[in-house]
Chain A
Amino acid sequence: MGLRRSGKSSIASVVFHKMPPNETLFLESTTRIQKDSIHSFMDFQVWDFPGQLEYLEPSFDLEDIFGSLGALVWVIDAQDDYLDAVARLNRTILTVQQYYPNINIEVFIHKVDGLSDEYRTDTFQDIVQLISDELSDAGYENAPVHYYLTSIYDYSVFEAFSKVIQKLIPNLSTLENLINTLSNNCGFEKTYLFDVLSKIYIASDTRPVDMSCYEMCSDYIDVIVDISELYSWDHPDRKPRGEQGQEAESHVVLHDETMIHLLEMNKYLCLVSVIRNPEAKEKKGLIDMNCRTFQEALNDVFSRSWEQDQDPEPRITKASGQPDE
């Protein structure tokens, strides 16, 4: 949600429909609520609200809109006068908060690509200040509101959306623990668990986020997906010559000895890691094996979470059972 022309539909198209950012110029303005179902490792629906819609009016059924909502993404155009947007956001938060206190409120301060660095931080602080002041005036302290600086012209919007989605994943901490164990044992610089379709990462190790790693990993997924498109045609004469695993696996070594390793986890997810250790090449077999163990653990976590089982902990020890030394 957000005011009109703040970039809501552009974000949705770029993230979920792989639209090149410069083509979003041609998007029409949204006139009705666009419901977009994403089927991936977990199914979720993205509702794109037209900016001019006055959904707080009594004619709209609040239960229908906010009832099953996990996260509310509010987009603010940072290049525009944002007082209006902030006021409206506050009204929305206060309304929503009364009935549905569990909704995460995520504020995207959008279109920051056009601002200089200094101005960007100023705007960010200004908006954060405005919102939290007004909320605490209304007697509502420590609201669960998170802020992100985004732009569709770089990877920040994917990053922000990743964070939003991660909050909705029930066993994120388990996943993070698993990935941490794996990357510590294998000497990975940074590891991401990607959703292949949207290139949102649903979990990563807990080291500080490095934009360049994310960029390379996400571009590498593109490379693999594109190459697969070129050579995955079906023909009865194409016959395999021997045994091979069912999952796609790939790695590339760059000119500076950096290795990017990619392993398909299941239909929707793949694990991508950046390895800066030049010796990793010789230990490829070990890395592969560790990743496979991780894959088993991951699938266990997911199958268990569907059965509402609370205790996937023992799996972690299993993953760390084969240290890479």
Chain B
Amino acid sequence: MDVRKKKRKVLLMGKSGSGKSSMRSIIFSNYVAKDVRRLGATIDVEHSHVKFMGNLTLNLWDCGGQDAFMETYLASQRGNIFSDVAVMIYVFDIESREVERDLDTYNAIITALKEFSPNAYVFCLVHKLDLIQAEHRQRIYEERSALIRSRSEHFAIDTFGSSIWDQSLYKAWAGIVHRLIPNLTVIERFLQAFAKRIGAEEVILFERSTFLTVTSVSSEVGDLNPIYDRHERLSNIMKAFKHCAARNTHTTPASAGFVVMHTKTPQFNVFLGRFTDNTYIFLVVPPGEAAYNCAVLNTMLAREGFSKAAAMGHGDGFPLPAPETPDGDVSTSNSDSTRG
């Protein structure tokens, strides 16, 4: 397969009514949480292709979860469904009354997966956590994930608690996506150096259409931020605003977007802008008008460097110069010229 076009097969499975299609619609099709009531039951398998980060295409198989379908997946369609799987996302309904039966089904699926694609990543989402009282959430989630782990054969699974009504959904999916991105270390190394050079407290890359956190780096000071779920909350905030903008400019949420956003407050400055074709960059820098403007200019210049490198065909989609070239030659020269 062409390296530049990476297709990853993602299976979305779970019991009927556990919320698979709901979350898919919210994350990838710009639904808002209350719209998902309109969704009907998924019949058989719904395929969708989600372009993510340019070269990475997620081939999403949303598998209807009614028992009859489950049986065909495990029997006649076994090879078709479970081969070449890169990721399987299994959704558990926290409210389910037949936990033991759910786990049996899960185990059967896992066994089939082991047979056809033993190297797949498995993510389990314990979903609809909003229905549990806040003080019990953590405990119940942990109990449940321990149970799930015990039935997962050799797979090292990741579990997330999630709910479509708050930012936890974004946390879960950002975690999943984070695993799928090729050459992530290169990107992170670049961002780290870039953040240091412009003196940013935090740099976050968001995917353009889903506003999921691709990756983020923060300085020593930025690490002290007491709010740990800030990335998910940002995704949530920005996506909500995108919906509002779409409603009021008479476009679809998919085509609405931001060009730039600048925010200056006495405690911090924030810049949000397009970085590559599929990403937004989000910079948090300490107050100081001149330093802020410098940082913004440098970001713009770094972006140009990126797209130039992409045009010349370096890297695969996330257009970086080869890892051994220090990122310095893009940003150092630029910072000199802007400061002058």
Contacts of B226 in A (CB 8 A): 233
Q: A215-B244, A240-B287 are in contact. Are A250 and B225 (CB under 8 A)?
A: no
Q: Does any Cβ of B come within 8 Å of A207's Cβ? A: no
A227 near B264 with CB under 8 A, answer no
Name the A residues within 8 Å of B199 (CB-CB).
241
Q: From DSSP, what is the main secondary structure of chain B's interface residues?
A: mixed
Q: Across the interface, which residues of A come within 8 angstroms of B288, CB to CB?
A: 240-244
Residues of A within 8 A of B234 (CB): 227, 230
Asked if A230 contacts B238 (CB within 8 A), the reply is: no
Q: How far is the CA of A169 from the CA of B133 in the complex (A)?
A: 44
Establish whether residues A246 and B257, one from each chain, have CB atoms under 8 Å apart when the complex forms. Answer: no
Selecting from B117-125, B136-144, B265-273, the interface stretch reads: B265-273
Least CB distance, B191 to chain A, in whole angstroms: 18
Name which residue of chain B comes closest to A274, CB basis.
Answer: B248
Interface centre among A219, A227, A235, A258 (most CB of B within 10 A): A227
Q: Contacts A212-B248, A219-B240, A232-B268 known; A252 to B260 CB distance under 8 Å?
A: yes
Q: With A235-B221, A241-B288, A252-B258 in contact, do A219 and B241 touch (Cβ < 8 Å)?
A: yes
Whether the Cβ atoms of A241 and B291 lie closer than 8 Å is: yes
State A256–B237 Cα separation when bound (angstroms): 20
B230 at the A interface (CB under 8 A): yes
Contact B262 A250 (CB under 8 A): yes
> In the complex, which residues 241-277 of chain B have their Cβ closer than 8 Å to any Cβ of chain A?
241, 244-245, 247-249, 251, 255-270, 272
Q: Which of A216, A233, A237, A240 contacts B227 (CB 8 A)?
A: A233
A220 part of interface (Cβ distance < 8 Å):
yes
Q: Which of A182-224 contact B (CB under 8 A)?
A: 212-213, 215-216, 219-220, 222-224
- Chain A residues whose C-beta falls within 8 Å of the C-beta of B2 in the assembled complex: none
Residues in chain A near residue B265, CB distance under 8 A:
228, 232, 248-250
**Count class of interface residues, chain A:** 35 or more
Residues of B within 8 A of A258 (CB): 249
Which range holds the interface residue count of chain B? 35 or more
- Whether A240 pairs with B249 at a CB distance below 8 angstroms is no
Q: Which residue of B lies closest to A220 (CB)?
A: B241
Q: Which residues of A contact B269 (CB under 8 A)?
A: 244
Find out whether the CB atom of A223 lies under 8 angstroms from the CB atom of B291: no
Chain B proximity of A323: nearest CB distance (Å): 24
Contact partners of A87 in chain B: CB under 8 A: none
Cα distance A252–B286 when bound, in Å?
19
Chain B residues lying within 8 Å of A245, measured Cβ to Cβ, are 264, 289
Contact between chains at B224 and A237 (CB < 8 Å): yes
Q: Is B290 an interface residue (CB 8 A)?
A: yes
Shortest Cβ distance from residue B296 to the other chain A in the assembled complex, whole angstroms: 12
A60 at the interface (CB under 8 A from B): no
A242 CB contact (under 8 Å) in B237, B261, B291: B291
Whether, in the assembled complex, B203 has its beta carbon less than 8 Å from a beta carbon of chain A, the answer is no
Kindly state whether residue B233 has any CB partner on chain A within 8 Å. Answer: yes
Give bound CA distance, A30 to B273, whole Å.
48
Do the beta carbons of A240 and B286 come within 8 Å of each other?
yes
> In this assembly, does B88 line the interface, its C-beta being within 8 Å of a C-beta of chain A?
no
Is B284 at the interface (CB under 8 A from chain A)? yes
Residues of B within 8 A of A227 (CB): 234, 237, 263, 270
Cβ distance A190 to chain B, nearest Cβ, rounded Å: 12
Interface string of A247-272 (1 = CB under 8 A from B): 11111111111100000000000000
Interface residues of B (CB under 8 A from A): 199, 201, 220-221, 224-227, 230, 233-234, 237-238, 240-241, 244-245, 247-249, 251, 255-270, 272, 284-292
Jot down 14 A-B pairs with beta carbons below 8 A, ordered by A.
A226-B233, A226-B237, A227-B263, A228-B267, A230-B225, A231-B201, A241-B199, A244-B287, A249-B263, A250-B261, A250-B263, A252-B258, A255-B255, A256-B249
The 7 closest A-B pairs by CB, nearest first: A242-B288, A212-B248, A241-B288, A250-B263, A253-B259, A252-B261, A248-B265
- With A244-B269, A244-B288, A255-B258 given, name 6 new contacts (CB 8 A): A223-B241, A233-B227, A241-B287, A242-B290, A244-B266, A255-B256
